[in-house]
């Protein structure tokens, strides 16, 4: 089996879903059977039968038809962390359900791209964070960061936490998610200089944003071949 990958981020809205979907699309086009998973999703539903928009995007670009219950075991109808959602909605999370779902997906696909929720320390329960899930799934991870001023600080906090947790860390992907903020090449040099870890790519800001061209041009900006193909 190829290496499955966990896509985490420095924050919410830094482009984890776009990166995950673009990676899934790339691998699929290389005739690799790729599965996708978003263990936890939150946000208001359009209709009672709606699934998370993030999950829809992941499934669309991976062209997978797995059960939603496997791809997205937990969906909270308020935009907050799993920990907070459980407190507000009086729910409980069973992490073994998430791990079992991942194991099933990994058994039927060559690789699985797992997208986190929020940042690496988003709480899933009181003493269990996204980083704990990455550790329990035993996955290599990449950190997606934006480029607004402050992103270097967020990147370093995320990276240092990943180191402290002894996570298997592959490197960074930078999304230029604001028109102002850091220049892409500047951000790339800062992140590499500070961490010594590979920056797989830096995707330029485009206004207005549309996911179709983002997915199509992703391999032009990101060295996707180094993200898991080495073990095929």
Catalytically active residues, by annotation: 38
61 appears as a binding residue in the annotation: no
207 appears as a binding residue in the annotation: no
Q: Which of 31, 15, 46 is nearest to 144 (CA)?
A: 15
- What CA–CA distance (Å, rounded) separates 85 from 77? 8
- What CA–CA distance (Å, rounded) separates 169 from 1? 18
175 appears as a binding residue in the annotation: yes
53 appears as a binding residue in the annotation: no
94 appears as a binding residue in the annotation: no
13 appears as a binding residue in the annotation: no
- What CA–CA distance (Å, rounded) separates 112 from 9? 17
108 appears as a binding residue in the annotation: no
205 appears as a binding residue in the annotation: yes
DSSP 3-56: PPEEEEESSTTSSHHHHHHHHHHHHHHTT--EEEE-SEEES--SSTT---HHHH
8-state DSSP, 160: H
How many CB atoms lie under 10 A from the CB of residue 133? Answer: 25
Sheet containing 34-37: order of strands: 34-37, 111-115, 5-9, 140-145, 168-175, 199-203
Q: Extract the annotated binding site.
A: 17, 42, 54, 115-118, 175-176, 204-206
Sequence ranges of the binding site for substrate: 42
Please enumerate, by residue number, every residue annotated as part of a binding site for Mg(2+): 17, 54, 115
Binding-site positions for ATP read 54, 115-118, 175-176, 204-206
């Amino acid at each position: 089996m190829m290496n499955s990958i966990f896509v985490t981020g420095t924050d919410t809205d830094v482009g984890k879903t776009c990166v995950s979907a673009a990676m899934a699309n790339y691998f699929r086009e290389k005739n690799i059977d790729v599965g996708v998973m978003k263990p936890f999703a939150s946000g208001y539903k359009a209709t009672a039968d709606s699934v998370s928009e993030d999950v829809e995007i992941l499934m669309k670009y991976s062209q997978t038809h797995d059960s939603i219950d496997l791809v997205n075991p937990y969906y909270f109808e308020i935009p907050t962390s799993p920990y907070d959602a459980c407190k507000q909605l009086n729910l409980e999370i069973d992490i073994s359900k998430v791990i079992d779902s991942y194991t099933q997906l990994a058994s039927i696909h060559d690789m699985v791209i797992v997208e986190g929720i929020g940042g690496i320390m988003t709480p899933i329960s009181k003493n269990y964070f996204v980083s704990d899930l990455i550790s329990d799934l035993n996955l290599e991870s990449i950190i997606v960061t934006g480029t607004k001023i402050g992103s270097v600080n967020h990147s370093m906090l995320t990276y240092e936490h990943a180191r402290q947790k002894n996570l298997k860390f592959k490197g960074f992907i930078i999304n230029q998610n604001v028109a102002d903020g850091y220049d892409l090449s500047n951000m790339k040099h800062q992140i590499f200089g500070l961490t010594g870890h590979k920056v797989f790519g830096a995707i330029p800001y485009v206004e207005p944003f549309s996911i179709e061209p983002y997915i199509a041009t992703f391999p032009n900006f990101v060295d996707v071949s180094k993200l898991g193909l080495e073990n095929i």
